[in-house]
Amino acid sequence: DVKVTQSSRYLVKRTGEKVFLECVQDMDHENMFWYRQDPGLGLRLIYFSYDVKMKEKGDIPEGYSVSREKKERFSLILESASTNQTSMYLCASSPLPRQSQETQYFGPGTRLLVL
Amino acid sequence: AQSVTQPDIHITVSEGASLELSCNYSYGATPYLFWYVQSPGQGLQLLLKYFSGDTLVQGIKGFEAEFKRSQSSFNLRKPSVHWSDAAEYFCAVGARGAGSYQLTFGKGTKLSVIP
């Protein structure tokens, strides 16, 4: 079974703090993704990476950055957390694009509260 | 750009009743289509996916979905709902991007089940 783990289930931070959210997958997947989920808005893509040290902006990258130094690990960084970044953050991974294999597998999520 | 519409924000059904959740997509090419389920406080679990071939797709937990190209729809069905099916359901369309493909999600349909 594919396993995607996220370093924290719940996190409370103060405005202006630098926040790191970590995601690790154990299936040697090339692609990794960060989403945020808000009530009534569904999931929105923040950043994704299709290779080590490669990153692409998603739909809402403002206020975020990412790091992928190793294939299995993808970090989301909030340089200076703000209250409007209070949300559920979901990490996902998927293998290289091949027919029938293009499925994203999700971690359990990190619920972040910024005070 | 692709988009997904789930017209029902919240649906309530009685246990044992049949279920159909609507999903309409907009995408210029042949879509990859997915249904995910999210239990409270959890990540997303893949229910089923459509890439090509048979337009009626079987998934886990007794769910199925039918791809109708003429209607741009991918509705999720279950003949008899169980109380454990209470969760939020997300439809998504996959589109090819840089080095990978990206998912665009609908805003979700929350399912409540009356015993």
Total CB pairs under 8 A between chain A and B: 66
Contacts of B51 in chain A (CB under 8 A): 99-100, 102
Best probe of the B interface among A52, A102, A111, by most B CBs < 10 A, is: A102
What is the C-alpha separation between B77 and A10, in angstroms, rounded?
A: 33
- Pairing of β B10-14 and β B109-114: parallel
Phi, psi of A101 (to 5 degrees): -105, 0
Encode pLDDT of A32-62 as tens digits. Answer: 999 999 988 889 999 999 889 889 999 899 9
Contacts of B98 in chain A (CB under 8 A): 50, 56
Taking the C-alpha atoms of residue A102 and residue A7, their distance in angstroms, rounded to an integer, is 25
**Out of B41, B94, B99, closest to residue A51 by CB:** B99
Query: Is the torsion defined by CA of A109, A112, B1, B5 positive or negative?
Result: positive
Per-residue model confidence (pLDDT) at position B36? 97
Residue with tokens 């999600």: B105
* Tens place of pLDDT per residue across chain B (115 aa): 789 999 999 999 999 999 999 999 998 777 889 999 999 888 899 999 998 888 999 999 999 999 999 999 999 999 999 999 999 999 999 877 655 668 899 999 999 999 9
* Nearest Cα residue to B21 out of B115, B113, B111: B111
Cα within 13 Å of Cα(B102), Cβ side? 23
Do the Cβ atoms of B93 and B104 come closer than 8 Å?
yes
* Token couple for B42: 């959890």
Best A103, A105, A110, A111 residue to mutate vs chain B (most B CBs within 10 Å): A103
Q: What per-residue confidence (pLDDT) applies to B29?
A: 77
Q: How far is A63 from chain B (nearest CA, A)?
A: 21
d(CA A45, CA A105): 14
Along the 115 residues of chain A, how does pLDDT read in single tens digits? 668 999 999 999 999 999 999 999 998 888 899 999 998 888 999 999 988 988 999 989 999 999 999 999 999 999 999 999 999 999 999 887 654 457 889 999 999 999 9
Contact (CB, 8 A) for A96 and A43? no
